[in-house]
Amino acid sequence: MLNYIIKRIGIAIPTLLILIAVTFYLMHAAPGGPFTSEKPLPPQVLANIEAKYGLDQPIWRQMTTYLWGILTEFDFGPS
């Protein structure tokens, strides 16, 4: 029974990581951004907001920061 539980957990962890990665990359592949549907913002304000939320980082860095926050602090980001 213990072997079964260990095997299932061993399968679940990579499955969750793949699911999170696919969802993360699909959200970035969608046209537009989180601030494009609002009224137009001045470029400096938009740059400040993107820096605050880490959207100015490369996508791999955003992904690792997101996963590290989940694993270490149970922080799923701002809602």
Q: How far is Cα 28 from Cα 46, in angstroms, rounded to an integer?
A: 17
- Tally the domains of the chain: 1
Amino acid, single-letter form, for residue 40: P
pLDDT at residue 39 in the model = 82
pLDDT at residue 41 in the model = 85
Print the domain residue range for 16. Answer: 2-73
Render pLDDT for 24-65 as a digit per residue (tens, 0 to 9): 899 889 888 888 777 888 889 889 998 998 889 999 999 999
28 domain residue, yes or no: yes
Asked if 55 and 62 count as a contact pair (C-beta separation under 8 A), the reply is: yes
pLDDT band at 13 (very low <50, low <70, confident <90, very high): very high
79 domain residue, yes or no: no
Who's near 24: CB < 8 A, 6+ residues apart?
Answer: 62, 63, 66
8 domain residue, yes or no: yes
pLDDT band at 74 (very low <50, low <70, confident <90, very high): confident
